[in-house]
Amino acid sequence: MKRDPRFDILFEPVKIGPVTARNRFYQVPHCNGMGYVQPNSLAAMREVKAEGGWSVVCTEEVWIHPTAEIVPHAEGILWDDGDIPALEKMTEAVHKHGSLAGIELQHGGYCSSNNYSRIPPIAPSALSVSSYDPVQARAMDKTDIINFRKWHRKAALRAKQAGFDLIYVYAAHSGTLLTHFLSRRINKRTDEYGGSLENRVRLFRELIEETKDAVGDSCAVAVRFAVEEFLGPMGITSENEGREIVEMLAELPDLWDVNISKWSIDSASSRFEAEGYQESYISFVKSLTSKPVVGVGRFTSPDTMVSQIKRGVMDMIGAARPSIADPFLPKKIEEGRMDEIRECIGCNICVMSDQISVPIRCTQNPTMGEEWRRGWHPERIEPRKSDDGVLVVGGGPAGLECALALGQRGYRVMLAEATSELGGRVNSESHLPGLAEWARVRDYRVQMLEGLSEVTVYCENPISSEEIIEFSAKDQFNYSHVLLATGATWRNDGIGKNHREPIPGLENIPVFTPDDIMDGASVQGRVVVYDDDHYYLGGVIAEKLRSVGHEVLLVTPAPQISIWTQYTLEQEQIQKKLMELRVELSTQTELVTVNDGMVELSCVVTESRTETACDSLVLVTERFPNDELFCFLQEQPEKISKAGIKTIRCIGDCHAPATIAAAVYSGHLAARELEAEPQEEVPFLRERVKI
């Protein structure tokens, strides 16, 4: 296929100081949960991006000195020469495919508690650290500032030695020392580094100039700057100080990478922001500088990308999450394969990985983070080992991904779905407020399956265990492997994390589950939503019910509403939305018993009890795996053997209910492992410390 000429502009080279990017696709710095702890995994992940057509591939933030670390988070480290080899792995991997490697040098200032180094944090002025740690940062004196400049220069020289082509001076988000110097809220100095904007910008200017002096002969010097902090007059705004700072420094760096702050806004989920949402804040930058400008906005549409370039919003299309969902997005546009783009759904599961320091993962791309440790590639897969046929039962996320990967391996696959539509839980959940883009999980796979002659799809086919055994022996259907992806069903008895027995009195009141709500059940009167799941669904259902006029009380035993979404950067926005809708919120509260028109609640700390009116109760606790079919077949070994079925495997939510990302991964794993050689005790490579 040929590239659509409309997109030619995306593949023009861009000169960035002394280096040139081969196209306009720029993978901006993003965290990944691997960092200095897993350099082989990190290098392999970045290499796939370069192979996929991203002309610039950057690191995550890389700590430049022990006075700023956030262990146990796994970011990059460049404290001394001993850290160079690990980073060289990445630059070598990226250079293999003709891409430029960028490094984001970082000092976190008062946002670094330094629990590992035990060195008191530093800041422009004395103040408490940004976390809940009982630690305060000390005010930097002139010697500290001189030392910081030396640390940054040394880190830049080490980065050059490691093979990086672009070196960042980082003043974005809210967790960088440079941002703290720029801020009137934080910087209370009275010397030449505080007070006026010109003084507060001084250190920023010095670092750019000194970095260019150190490495600018062969490396481009990029600036990452947040033009809007959403803090009102005391913060940097795109209309005032953000604009003035760009004007002051306009021609100093070789490239401007501009965004908004804080991280939860810069990486807002699709539930709260649409593609290209940062344009209104950053669009002024190009009018102030002749240097290339990079911006982000969860771009997945080639038409939107072209529009951004032609309208002068930016010169290069920056991406973190879209490059995770589809590392080959640029190549697919270049080769005219836009229909094959695996579009980011904006769920921020990738962010969660960094928050809990595990290898990065993605709902749309199950190979993300598995490039080195399992040898997975997003565009290549091991061919089939035999001519055996495969039956996949269930067309939800796990079943769709499994059938697709098996079809790509060349297996003959029959996918049986009980309902009239493929998609499973995605169909229902994508109709909830803010979750429409999650339908891409279904749409991408359905579209890809349509191009695979090896896969036959049968909807409205609630296949039974007897039929599985019977059909396997028939010539037109015969298969040797059965993969069951029959999903899960929400419980209606209240059993969950905090209740291991049914909640008493549920027979006294109309009780609903998330499945009921998504199926359009008629809910009456004042609704109590009891959320013991703690991810997005409890909050979304409360929002849905409130938006149609119900009085809603959301109760959770956790100290925060939808507490797990703090890992996806959504918790504050979810709570704000619910409060704006006037949903009543009750945290650290247990649902104890149910009476006629009333529920009894208990404080999880004091055990004090209260009663509140309730006409309808929605229980968001946990799910039953729909594994009845699997269990029945497991009990029929003789019939299974006689029918010629070699393997039966349960995948996705019917194996272990979890996230959509986990279901997709489970389906992909099963497809990869079909007829594979037996593995060692640990089924993936591990990064080991050499002793």
132 is catalytic: no
> At 235, phi and psi to the nearest 5?
-105, 175
Buried b (16+ CB within 10 A) or exposed e, 405-429: bbbbbebbbbbbbbeeebbbbbbbb
The active-site residue, picked from 254, 266, 326, 354, is 266
Whole-number Cα distances in Å, 244 to 279, 288, 407: 18, 10, 55
Angle between helices 39-51 and 84-95 (to 10 degrees): 20
Q: Report the run of H or E that residue 26 belongs to, with start and end.
A: strand 25-27
> Under 8 Å CB-to-CB from 579, ≥6 apart: which residues?
585
The active-site residue, picked from 107, 152, 173, 499, is 173
Angle between helices 142-161 and 84-95 (to 10 degrees): 50
The active-site residue, picked from 168, 170, 411, 444, is 170
Whole-number Cα distances in Å, 638 to 42, 295, 634: 47, 61, 10
> At 518, phi and psi to the nearest 5?
-70, -25
- The two tokens of residue 471 are 């059909």
- The two tokens of residue 354 are 């960094």
The active-site residue, picked from 31, 111, 219, 350, is 31
Count Cα atoms within 13 angstroms, Cβ side, for 568: 25
Whole-number Cα distances in Å, 121 to 138, 157, 624: 6, 24, 48
The residue behind tokens 């296929």 is 1
Residue 477 CB neighbours (<10 A): 16
31 is catalytic: yes
The residue behind tokens 């028939």 is 474
SS3 416: strand
Strand segments, DSSP code E, in 293-344 are 293-295, 316-319
567 is catalytic: no
Beta 19-21 vs 511-512: how paired, if at all?
A: unpaired
95 is catalytic: no
Length of the chain as a residue count: 691
Q: Are 174 and 180 in contact (CB under 8 A)?
A: no
Strand segments, DSSP code E, in 76-209 are 76-77, 100-106, 122-123, 127-128, 136-139, 166-171
Question: What is the C-alpha to C-alpha distance for residues 260 and 173, in angstroms, rounded to an integer?
Answer: 7
Question: What is the C-alpha to C-alpha distance for residues 287 and 310, in angstroms, rounded to an integer?
Answer: 13
> Which residues participate in catalysis according to the annotation?
31, 170, 173, 266
